[in-house]
Amino acid sequence: MPHHENEEMLTGGNVSRVYRSGDTVRRELKPDSPKIHKLLKHLENKGFSYAPKFLGIDEKGREILSLLYLNKIKGYFNFKWFVFGKNGGNYMSISLFEQRSVET
């Protein structure tokens, strides 16, 4: 059985349907998706760890992104795109943000 059959639709997005499957997020491709994939690869190559990683395209033609757990990231953020969660969940997809330093 393919892993994506155990997926959960995430709420909160206003552009496309987004699904969680294990530690990945699946999202429908858009015309600008290749640009986003290139940006995410660039951020990953530069060591920026606060954006999801582009992992490829699944057999349904959707992009596969790594899942970010917000509760593991310290600080506060200025979110730029979409945040998804379910029942107060702490996960998101395709969210680029600036981290502000916080004294602990």
Q: Which pLDDT score, from 0 to 100, does residue 32 have?
A: 87
Which residues are CB-contacts of 43 (< 8 A; sequence separation ≥ 6)? 51
Q: Tens digits of per-residue pLDDT, 8-65?
A: 888 766 667 888 888 898 999 988 889 889 989 998 998 887 788 999 999 999 999 9
CATH assignment at residue 18? 3.30.200
Q: How many domains does the chain have?
A: 1
**Residue 100 domain flag:** no
Domain range for 23: 3-95
Distance CA 10, CA 85 (A): 6
**Residue 29 domain flag:** yes
**Residue 104 domain flag:** no
The confidence band for 86, taking pLDDT boundaries of 50, 70 and 90, is: very low
Closest among 63, 56, 52 to 17, alpha carbons compared: 63
**Residue 103 domain flag:** no
